[in-house]
Structures are given as C-alpha cells and as structure tokens.
C-alpha cells in the first residue's frame, strides 16, 4: 500500500515538474513568473474557500456536540463544543481579518513594485 502511494506521488511530482519545465522553456523566465503570480491568486482563493468551509463544519460540529452534551452530560464534556465553536468562528472570520489588516498596513491603493527609469538597449531605428 505504501509503495503504491509513493509511486503515485513520484508520478504526480514528475508530471508537475514536466509541465512546469515545458511552460518555462516556451515562455521564458518572465512567462514563468507571470504564471506563478497568477497561480498564487488562485491559491489564496482556495485557502479562503477552505477556511469558510472548515469554519462552517466546525460550527455544525459544535452544535452536534452541544446536543450530545445535552443528551448525556456525563459522557460529553462541555469544553469540546465551546472550543469547536470558537475555532469555527475564527476560521470564518480569518479572510476578513486578513483583508482589513492588509488595508491597515499597506493602504487600499497598493500597487506592485516595479523598475522605473530603465531604457531599452535594443537598436534604434533611424
């Protein structure tokens, strides 16, 4: 079983590496950087969505645990559902906290830094 998982991981990493090499060789370093930058935005969206889903799952789990505590208080301690409720609330509000703290620290009109004052070394047409 472990060998099968290791072989699957090796094949997946080989496939990803081959695709990245193909992308890098066809469009250069700038194209690769643009691809990585575009993918980071999608990864941020994935983390945000996962945070919302996990937060809702923890909140529903807390409600179920509260019901189990109500049915049998000796078997289910009250601390578990309370902790699950706070973790769920934290996961739901993490994307909002990141957005507000980013606006506070860097301002709302932030731009990506770049190089200025550089002229092209190409041949000039006369």
Per-residue pLDDT tens over the stretch 17-62: 666 666 555 567 777 777 777 777 778 788 888 899 999 999 999 9
Please state the pTM of the whole predicted model.
0.57
Q: Judge contact between 80 and 65, C-beta under 8 A.
A: yes
**Closest alpha carbon to 78 in 55, 62, 102:** 62
Per-residue pLDDT tens over the stretch 80-115: 999 999 999 999 988 888 777 777 877 766 565 555
Rg (the chain; Cα; Å): 25
CA distance 63 to 72: 14
**Maximum distance among all Cα pairs of the chain, rounded to whole angstroms:** 90
**Closest alpha carbon to 52 in 83, 87, 82, 95:** 95
């Amino acid at each position: 079983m472990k060998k099968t998982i290791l072989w699957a991981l090796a094949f997946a990493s080989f496939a990803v590496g081959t695709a990245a090499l193909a992308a890098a060789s066809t469009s250069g370093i700038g194209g690769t950087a643009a691809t990585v930058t575009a993918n980071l935005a999608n990864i941020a969206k994935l983390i945000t969505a996962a945070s919302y889903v996990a937060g809702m799952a923890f909140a529903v789990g807390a409600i179920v645990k509260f019901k189990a505590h109500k049915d049998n208080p000796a078997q289910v301690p009250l601390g578990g559902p309370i902790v699950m409720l706070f973790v769920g609330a934290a996961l739901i509000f993490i994307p909002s906290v990141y957005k507000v703290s980013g606006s506070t620290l860097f301002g709302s009109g932030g731009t990506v830094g770049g190089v200025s004052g550089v002229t092209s070394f190409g041949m000039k047409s006369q």
